[in-house]
Amino acid sequence: MITFYAPGQPGVQLADHATCADLTRAAVWIDLLQPSPEDEQALEEALGVDIPTREEMQAIELSSRLYEENGILFMTATVLTNADSNSPQSSAVTFILSGDKLVTLRYADSTAFAAFQTRRDANLQRYDTSYHFMGGIIDAIIERIADILEGVGANLDRISLRVFDAEAPDGSSQWENQPAKNHSRKTRRARQRGYVEVLRRIGAVSDLVSRARETLVSFGRLVAFFREVRHDDQTARESMAHSKTVIADLGSLSDHATFLGGKVSFLLDATLGMINNEQNAIIKILSVAALVFLPPTLVAGIYGMNFESIPELKWVHGYPFALTLMIISAVLPYLFFRRKGWL
C-alpha cells in the first residue's frame, strides 16, 4: 500500500499504478506500508530511485543502513511494534530523503506512524517540506518509546510489590481472613504460583526494554548521520536545530532505558533469591526429619532381629501388618508434605 501526502492535503492511497507518477510529483511524503513488488516498481519508475529490498533493510552493518547515493539519503532504523501485545517485535523502517521528498518504507504497522498521521491531519499546514515530515515522524516515534518506558516503569513497580509482599505474592488479599492453620499452607502455594507468574512478567518486560533500547540506539545513529551529511545544507537549517533536541531526548530516554534494565536485573535476582529461600526452607525441614529418624534406624540396623524373644515371629498376621505399615509410612509423609505446600 502506498499513501501520498501533498502539502495541505490529506493522504491519498494509490489505487492505480498508472497514476503513480502524477501523485509522486505532487507529494512531499510517500509512505510505503507492506508494498507489493508492483508497488515498488511503479514508485521506482516515478522517482528514479532504487528502493531497498526487505533483506537489505534487515542488514545490521552501518554501511548498509546509513548511506548517501547520488545526493539521496538512505537511512534505516529499527522501530518497536506491537508493544501493547504479548509479543512485541522490532521492525526496520527506511527513510529515503531527497531534497524535496521523503519516502518511508516499512513492512509492519506502527502506532507512532498512526499517531503522526492523526497529528498531521489535525494541522495540515504545519508540515510542508520533507524535513518537516521526517522530524514529525521521528518525534512521534520518540514519544511512543517514552510512553512505553513509562508503562514499563509502572509495571516494574507492581512487580516489585509482588516480589517483596510477604503475605500474598499473587497480588491478592484472599489469605488475610483464612484460619491460622491454613494460612501458611495456602500462602506458600500462592507464593509458588506467584513466583512463576512474576518470572514470566519479568521476562516480558526485559524483552520490551531491550527492544526499546534498540530503537533508541538505531535512531540515535540515524540522526547523527543526518546531521553529519546535511550540516552545510541551508534548507535543512531548521531540521538541524530540531535534531539537537532529538539527540538530547534520545540520550535521556536511553539513560532511562538503562536504568529500567538494571531494575529488571535486580527484580530477577530478587525473585530467584526468594525462590531459593523457599527451597532452602523445605530442604531444611526435610533434613531435620531425616535426622530425627536416623538414630532409630541406626539402632534397628545394629540390634534389630537379634533377640531370642521376639513375640511377633510367630504372629500369623505379622506379614500383612508389616506391608500395611510400609504403605502407611509412605503415604502419611506425602500427605503431610502436600498439606504443607512443599510438594
C-alpha cell at 323: 506391608
Domain boundaries, the chain: 307-340
Kindly indicate the confidence band of residue 80, based on its pLDDT and cuts at 50, 70 and 90. confident
Per-residue pLDDT at 108: 86
- pTM: predicted TM-score of the whole model, two decimal places: 0.76
Pairing state between β 29-33 and 102-106: parallel
| pLDDT above 90: residue 259 | yes
DSSP H or E run through 29: strand 29-33
Kindly indicate the confidence band of residue 129, based on its pLDDT and cuts at 50, 70 and 90. confident
Per-residue pLDDT at 17: 78
Per-residue pLDDT at 60: 67
Higher pLDDT, 99 or 120: 120
| pLDDT above 50: residue 178 | no
Please write the tens of the pLDDT for every residue from 291-328: 877 877 877 777 776 777 777 777 888 888 888 888 88
Within the chain, where are the H helices? 20-26, 37-47, 54-57, 62-65, 111-122, 130-163, 180-229, 237-303, 318-340
Per-residue pLDDT at 34: 87
Per-residue pLDDT at 114: 87
Give yes or no for a contact between 117 and 29, defined as CB atoms under 8 angstroms apart: no
Higher pLDDT, 144 or 7: 144
Ramachandran angles phi, psi of 36, nearest 5°:
-85, 165
DSSP summary character for residue 308: S
